[in-house]
Chains A and B, each alone.
Chain A
Amino acid sequence: MGALVVVLFYGSILFCIVFATARLIRIYRLPLHIKWEFYRDSSVYEQVEWWTKPQIGFWQKAGAMMLDVLFLRDYYDKNRGFWIYLYTFHVGIYLLIVWHAWLFLVAPFVDPETASSVGLFLGHVATALAFVGGLSILIKRATDEELSVYYPPIHYVKWVAMLLTLASGFYAIYFYFNNETPALLKYVQSQVTFSDLEHKLHPPPATATHVLFASIWLVYLPYSHIMRLFLRYYHYLHDDEVPNVRGGEMEKRIGELLGQQVSWSAPHIQTGKSWAEVATTPAPKNTSKEQQAK
């Protein structure tokens, strides 16, 4: 059983890395899109000869992205009743990331007996925020008709799994490690340095349970909203508001895409020709279709 936990845990890490990388590559390879932005404020198009004026730059976009991600700004502006629960949960998750980073960075290099217990406190605060936020979201999702209307059942399972993961983490630290920083750091140290294989192959139920739940999350991660955020912001930073200037990189990319061969088969499209050929060739004269007859 212990060995199975080890295999599942390291297997899930491998799975997460491989499939997340594959998804990132797929996102990276998605083609440039037609300009389809919208605006929350005045744009360069308000100016005469706008093409001679500076457009929104990378750092301006990156700043907006950071505000979105760190504060869930759109939820705050447009759905504050839900934002309070989401934000509690997300702050908890952000702090959990910091907490785990602290654990894995401190454990191998600092004497566990002298390490600050502030880290442990941070872990409890993070867990509590994520748990309270997650539970609130689950309850709200289940009881609010608007939030539940199209919410697939599997997502409720996801939230329950999240709460169990958090609870099992808290249980392991509070009861198995007696809420003591040195004991916890020694355990993490032995895990990351592979210095206690016996312990690794025969983990105690408290840590094994938490590791198993963590494995589920690692498998889910490549399909989670984190990837969707990457899809959203990668292309936002890379392509949005980037002008197409003559002889520029954007023009080169557009030229390649105009050469794509299309297979749409409606009568007004010459199937098999390139995108540019179809757009510059008049449609065949008889494009009236039975479906359009009135």
Chain B
Amino acid sequence: MNEKRRALRNVSKNGDQSLGQVKREKLLSLPVEDAKAGAPPIKALSEKQRQTYEHAFDGVCAVAIPKPKSKEEEKQLVERFLAALQKLLTKEDNWTFLQQLILTLDACVQCQTCNDACAIYLASGKEEIYRPTYRSEVLRRIIKRYVKKGGNLFAALRGNDIELNWTTIARLAESAYRCTMCRRCATHCPMGSDNALITRELRKLFSEELGIAAKELHESGTVQQLRVGASTGITPPAFADIVEFMEDDIEEKTGRRIKIPVDKEGADILLIHNSGEYLSWLENPAAFAIIFDAAGISWTLSSELGGYEGTNYGVWYDDFQFGRIALKHIEIANKLKVKKIMIGECGHSTKATVVISERLLVGDMNIPRESCLPLLEELVLSGRLKLDPTRNNFPVTLHDPCNMVRLMGIIEPQRRILRAICPQFREMEPHGVDNYCCGGGSGFAVMSPMNFPDWKMNVSGRMKVKQILDAFADSMDPSIPKYVCAPCSNCKGQLRDLLVYYELTTRHGIYYGGLVELIVNAMADNKQPYISFEEM
């Protein structure tokens, strides 16, 4: 039996060893010298961490699952996992995804067409455990053997040969956090199988039954959001201060005092941003305010608990947390009597609010919801804003957020805007629905436990670094500022970390930011540039 096939069966064996390993010499090569060449790609866990948490998948710890203290506890966890698997396959507990889960479990013909679509698999140098079909096949074989009737009949012949034990389960839990759920593999599957859905269903199973989830997504993510108002911890009083500060900031940069509407009843648009914007990229919501004010749009922000936070991490791991947050947004919009909800530059939030939540909404709850990109396109191309493209005369490339582009089909508005206002706009390759994830998708951008940051910099984000460098290959001189436009908060978080890690700003003059900043930077009436590379 060859090594690759053995890796599948070994998922249940040798729980004290890593099943796979990231090796620097195998990593995807970059077009410039790797700033980290020579250093181990993944920092080893400390002895205490190794003793405390499960790490036998690849030596990386993303979920921090405590090791069971006894064989009895292991046995109980295995039984609970099996019970959860059965729930996953029932209409009552999983109507939300049952149909597509069954399709994915049944449809794969092992043609491996999806492998070359996976940025993680390719960037790792085709490490077997990151093959997009790996975790799907492990789960498929477990279900066939332990859940379906007659699973043990001719088990080896039918490939139902994976043993279910705690080692398998712990590795599956970690493996569910080695996929960004960008679903590029799903678009490449000729049979309609969706490995990213398996990732999500695994995360869901662990969260909804065993109470295992990444802390950044659950405790300090959705739980905190529902409790204090935002996953960033921003409370309603803090939000009021931020809005005031934003107004001052706008006046300082543009010379105009704008009154940002908050809780304005009957406005046409309730604009909801990812609250990360208010903490890390205030220039982004400020740019929205400048644009909407200049265009005379009827809009408002909400200061109600949860109304100023667009994130919905539930979309990545838990149906009920997803539902709770989605319904909270709807409740706030209805209370304000707005005509529609609009989501700012945040990919997952847009997808969650506009698309995924649609089939949870009945009656008055089904309020119109849309992305900000079509309106921005209309404002830019219609001439309602007075724009001077020469103000953006520096190299610009576009990162396509997976959730907006591949998963919603919003492909052209952002490009038409950039073509109109950025004379040196160039595409990354591949782009559009074939884009690669930034590497921070599915929550990775906000997850930083133990040695997981090393993994997301060296593995999940590496393909994006290569794409960025390729896009700017004609102007690598650091004195020429270059702008990676990422109309997504999570993508920006990942890009920020990648640029620092690979020293792309200091060595090559590469910066990042959103789309609206470029629009405001091009506004002809502004006395000074809105984008200041010196301050970025």
Contacts and interface: CB of A to CB of B under 8 A. Distances in A.
Contacts of A39: 405-409, 411, 433
Contacts of A33: 95-100, 359
Given A45-B370, A46-B411, A261-B92, A232 B192 contact: yes
A47 B112 contact: no
B93 interface: yes
Interface in B139-159: 154, 156-159
Contact of A258 (B109, B191, B194, B360): B360
B186 interface: yes
Interface in A15-62: 30-51
Contacts of A283: 223, 226, 320-321, 324
A260 B92 contact: yes
B408 A268 contact: no
Given A154-B157, A263-B92, A266-B211, A38 B186 contact: yes
A153 interface: yes
B188 interface: yes
Contact of A31 (B98, B190, B327): B98
A151 B110 contact: yes
A257 B66 CA distance: 36
A265 B406 CA distance: 34
Contacts of A44: 409
A238 B374 CA distance: 28
B190 A72 contact: yes
A269 B314 CA distance: 13
A51 B115 contact: no
B532 interface: no
B83 to A, nearest CB: 8
A232 B360 contact: no
A283 to B, nearest CB: 7
A198 interface: no
Interface string A240-270: 0001111000110011011011111111110
A153 B159 CA distance: 7
B209 A266 contact: yes
A253 to B, nearest CB: 9
Given A45-B371, A147-B111, A294-B64, A31 B99 contact: yes
Interface in B184-243: 186-192, 194, 197, 207-213, 215, 218-219, 223, 226
B97 A46 contact: no
A36 B111 contact: no
Interface in B465-503: none
Contacts of B39: none
A220 interface: no
B18 interface: no
Contacts of B327: 279-280
Interface string A141-172: 00001111111111001000000000000000
Size category of the B interface is 35 or more
Interface string A271-294: 000010011101100011111111
Given A36-B356, A38-B406, A154-B158, A266 B208 contact: yes
B193 to A, nearest CB: 9
Nearest to A34: B96
Contacts of A265: 209
Interface in B22-77: 64-66
Contacts of A225: 107, 109, 191
B181 to A, nearest CB: 11
Interface in B352-400: 354-356, 358-363, 366, 368, 370-371, 373-375, 378
A150 B159 contact: yes
Given A38-B407, A246-B363, A152 B159 contact: yes
Contact of A51 (B84, B189, B368): B368
Contact of A279 (B87, B111, B320): B320
A210 interface: no
B190 A231 contact: no
A264 B87 contact: yes
A74 interface: yes
A192 to B, nearest CB: 34
A46 B91 contact: no
A260 B95 contact: yes
Interface stretch (A1-9, A75-83, A109-117, A126-134): A75-83
B358 to A, nearest CB: 5
B93 A262 contact: yes
Nearest to A31: B95
A149 B110 contact: yes
Contacts of B323: 275, 278-279
Nearest to A294: B64
Contacts of A290: 66, 211
Nearest to B91: A31
A235 interface: yes
A272 to B, nearest CB: 11
B506 interface: no
A35 B92 contact: no
A225 B110 CA distance: 13
B292 to A, nearest CB: 14
A32 B358 CA distance: 12
A34 B208 CA distance: 17
B283 to A, nearest CB: 25
Contacts of A31: 91, 95, 98-99
B266 interface: no
A225 B107 CA distance: 7
13 contacts: A32-B359, A33-B96, A38-B186, A42-B411, A45-B410, A50-B370, A50-B374, A150-B8, A261-B92, A287-B219, A290-B211, A291-B66, A292-B64
By Cβ-Cβ distance, the 9 closest A-B pairs, closest first, are: A43-B409, A152-B159, A39-B409, A279-B323, A74-B190, A289-B211, A31-B95, A264-B208, A79-B113
Interface of B: 2, 4-5, 8, 64-66, 84, 87, 91-93, 95-100, 102-103, 106-107, 109-113, 115, 117, 133, 137, 154, 156-159, 183, 186-192, 194, 197, 207-213, 215, 218-219, 223, 226, 318-321, 323-324, 327, 340, 354-356, 358-363, 366, 368, 370-371, 373-375, 378, 405-413, 433, 449
Given A231-B99, A266-B209, A278-B320, 6 more contacts: A35-B356, A37-B407, A145-B2, A232-B107, A246-B366, A292-B212
